[in-house]
Amino acid sequence: MKDLKLEAALPARKDREAPSAIAVDGWRFHHIGIPTQTPRPGEQHVPHLKIYVSGYEFSPYGIQWMRFEPDAPYPEIIKTIPHVAFEVDDLKTALEGKEILVAPNSPSEGVTVAMILDSGAPVELLEFAPPLKQTQN
């Protein structure tokens, strides 16, 4: 019901208009994550996340394949439905009023992510820490 109320409150988007997450909120496309049960060439195991990933480093379109270990602790929707991922400047602000599937966590140094649900589909939000300034000796 929450999604239907939100959709009714927003003006209809025209074909050529960017989604409001991009046009209004300033989110930036990062990747699309596609779950698979088939091992893929070049996949990398990320043991602490219980997932294998592949494709992102070389895809010009940001396609990332994800294969989950059987006991991976994620909601079934994340393990079975593709998600779109956006980079955001402020994850805490971006999460306000959203239905959270996976609470903010840090899969790797300098990255904080969370998963939300929008219109029945998972959406990943990523915040990157600013690069550390190098000091000159």
Q: Helix or strand or coil: residue 24?
A: coil
Q: Which has the closest alpha carbon to 69: 97, 48, 55?
A: 48
Which two tokens mark 99? 């239905």
Q: Are strands 83-87 and 28-35 parallel, antiparallel or unpaired?
A: antiparallel
As a whole number of angstroms, the distance between CA 51 and CA 7 comes to 33
Q: How many other β-carbons are positioned within 10 Å of the β-carbon of residue 40?
A: 13
pLDDT digits (tens, 9 = 90+) for 74-130: 999 999 999 999 999 999 999 999 999 999 999 889 999 999 999 999 999 999 998
pTM of the model: 0.85
As a whole number of angstroms, the distance between CA 132 and CA 11 comes to 41
Go through the domains of the chain in sequence order and give each one's CATH number: 2-10+20-128 (3.10.180.10)
pLDDT digits (tens, 9 = 90+) for 20-77: 999 999 999 999 999 999 999 999 999 999 999 999 989 999 999 999 999 999 999 9
Residue for token digits 């000091």? 135
Q: Which has the closest alpha carbon to 77: 124, 121, 114?
A: 121
Q: Which has the closest alpha carbon to 112: 124, 126, 98, 92?
A: 126
